[in-house]
Amino acid sequence: MAAEVKPGGEVAYTLRAGDHRLPLNERVGTPLSLEWSGAIACTNCGRATRKSFGQGHCYPCFKRLAQCDTCIVKPETCHYHQGTCREPQWGERFCFQPHVVYLANSSGLKVGITRKTQMPTRWLDQGAIQALPILEVDTRLQSGLVEMLFKEQVADRTNWRAMLKGAVAEIDLEAERRHLLALLAPGLAQLRERFGSEAVKEIVNPVLRFHYPVQTFPTKVVSHNFDKQPKVSGTLMGIKGQYLMLDSGVINLRKFTGYEVRVR
């Protein structure tokens, strides 16, 4: 699903399938049916695959592509400087560009990183109701090292069940920013000494707030899975993150990237 922020922080969703585009906000409150044909195509090379690896790849691409390497999930383990990057040119394009370290509120306070060009997409994918960029760094490796400092004090994961239930209170992200930057100042100073004084820069941005098209939040989260149940249907009660929230259960569409699905 593609998501964009409208004036006032309203999030608008569009379901993308090949060249087809289906606006989803207007479908909230109406019946929706998704049926998997049984076919999966690799999103990189297009070949048919029995199983999807790394959200939409065949196994050969999963093992070959730099974007599927473990350093993407754990950027502090970047091994480009060792000469072992799977795709050095890809790494130079995507990892050696400005990244942002941010605080967000999806199911509570969390820290995260994203390429500067991926704001606010990253926050919408996580179902964040608030987000605040706090630091800018030069490379993905540096963002991972900064995030490691923050992870000593703040969670780096979203409780997706709590996020979908909607009972998430607002947080004073500005106060959390001041507290954490002061607390972690010695560690940040060491990183600046290592990479240069301008490599880790504080940034001052307003807190962003997002509102999702949800008619009713589920009180109990039941998850649908195409691999176990090819047809998923029900009344669409809302959309948040990459989840469709039906009265019959929720489904994470990103998990099934590359699946051939008929939508009605």
Choose the final residue of a domain: 209, 232, 249: 209
Summarised one tens digit per residue, pLDDT across range 206-243 is 999 999 999 999 999 999 999 999 999 999 999 999 99
Number of domains forming the structure of the chain: 2
Q: What is the pLDDT of residue 263?
A: 93
- Domain span at residue 41 reads 2-55+213-263
Does one domain contain both 199 and 70?
Answer: yes
Does one domain contain both 199 and 220?
Answer: no
247 has a pLDDT exceeding 90: yes
Does one domain contain both 139 and 252?
Answer: no
Task: Using the CB atoms, write b or e for 95-120: b if 16+ within 10 Å.
Answer: beeebbbbbbbbbebbbbbbbeeebb
Q: Tell me the average pLDDT across 44-48.
A: 97
pTM: 0.93
Does one domain contain both 119 and 26?
Answer: no
Does one domain contain both 99 and 124?
Answer: yes
Does one domain contain both 197 and 68?
Answer: yes
Does one domain contain both 73 and 51?
Answer: no
Does one domain contain both 41 and 71?
Answer: no
Q: What is the pLDDT of residue 122?
A: 95
Does one domain contain both 29 and 71?
Answer: no
Choose the final residue of a domain: 209, 226, 250: 209
Does one domain contain both 36 and 86?
Answer: no
Does one domain contain both 196 and 228?
Answer: no
What is the full DSSP assignment across 70-106? Answer: HHHHSGGG--GGGT--S-HHHHHHHTSS-EEEEEEES
Choose the final residue of a domain: 164, 183, 209: 209
The amino acid present at 142, given as its one-letter code, is Q
What mean pLDDT is reported for the chain? 96
Does one domain contain both 152 and 129?
Answer: yes
